[in-house]
Amino acid sequence: MSLILESDYDIRYSRAEDLEFLKQWMADPQTHMWYPPSSEKDVRQFVQNWIGFSKYRASITAIYQNQPIGIATVFLMPYLKVAHLCMMYIVVAPKWRRRGVGGSLLKNVKHLAKTRFRLESMHIEVWEGCPIIELSKRYGFEEIFTQEDFVHMDGKSYSRIVLETKL
Amino acid sequence: MIEQSRIQIRVLAESDKPYLSQILMDPEALRWLPMTNLLEVEEAMKVWFLFARQKSAYVVEIDGKPAGMAVLYVQNYEKLGHQCLFAIVVDRDYRGQGMGTALMRHIMREAKETFGIKLLHLEVYEGNPAYRLYERLGFVEFGRHPKFLKDSDGVYHTKVLMQKRL
- Tens-digit pLDDT profile for residues A100-119: 999 999 999 999 999 999 99
List B141's β-bridge partners, or say none: B162
Q: How far apart are CA B50 and CA B66, in angstroms?
A: 19
Cα A57 to the center of its chain, rounded Å: 15
- What angle separates helix A19-26 from helix A40-52, to the nearest 10 degrees? 140
- With pLDDT > 70 as the criterion, what percentage of chain B qualifies? 100
Q: How far apart are CA B68 and CA B130, in angstroms?
A: 14
- Considering only CB atoms, B145 lies closest to which of A42, A145, A149, namely A145
Distance from CA of A88 to the nearest CA of B (A): 15
Residue A165's SS3 state is: strand
Please determine, for residue A4, whether its predicted confidence score (pLDDT) is greater than 70: no
Instruction: Compute the Cα dihedral for B11, B12, B14, B16 and give only its sign.
Output: positive
The band of B75, judged by pLDDT with boundaries at 50, 70 and 90, is: very high
Q: How far apart are CA A134 and CA B145, in angstroms?
A: 20
- Decide: B157 and B127 in contact? Cβ < 8 Å: yes
Closest listed residue to residue A81, CA positions, set B72, B47, B125 = B125
Q: pLDDT per residue over B109-126, tens digit each?
A: 999 999 999 999 999 999
DSSP secondary structure code for residue B65 in this structure: E
Binary contact (B161, A85; C-beta < 8 A): no
Distance from CA of B88 to the nearest CA of A (A): 18
Binary contact (B148, A85; C-beta < 8 A): yes
pTM across the whole model: 0.93
| Span B51-75, average pLDDT | 94
Chain B residue closest in CA terms to A123? B145
Q: How far apart are CA B120 and CA B139, in angstroms?
A: 9
Query: Vertex A5, ends A20 and A34: CA angle to 5°?
Result: 40
The band of A44, judged by pLDDT with boundaries at 50, 70 and 90, is: very high
Which amino acid is present at A126? Answer: V
- Whether residue A41 lies within 8 A of chain B, CB to CB, comes out as no
Chain B residue closest in CA terms to A166? B147
- Considering only CB atoms, B77 lies closest to which of A38, A81, A120, namely A38
Q: How far apart are CA A110 and CA A166, in angstroms?
A: 9
- ipTM value: 0.91
Q: How far apart are CA B66 and CA A42, in angstroms?
A: 35
Residue A126, classified by CB atoms within 10 Å of its CB into exposed (0-12), middle (13-18) or buried (19+), is buried
Binary contact (A149, B78; C-beta < 8 A): no
Chain B residue closest in CA terms to A162? B145
